[in-house]
Amino acid sequence: MIKCHCGEVFFDEIVRVAQETGRDHREVMVELGAAQVCTACLGELMAYCEERLSRILEVA
């Protein structure tokens, strides 16, 4: 899964906004409407964001 279909939000968009603004990915998810309706993507979305953002921090 690469996006929240209910919210029409790609996981990469959440990571990008969190990285650019320095905000927590969970806050960005709520703002963009991801995983707010059926929550079927929530587990994969959280894992994706945490893994990508931790990689970004390791590089920095």
9, with CB counted inside 10 A (0-12, 13-18, 19+), is: buried
Q: How many Å apart are CA 16 and CA 53, to the nearest integer?
A: 9
pTM: 0.92
- Enumerate residue ranges in the chain where pLDDT < 50: none
For residue 40, the model assigns a pLDDT of 97
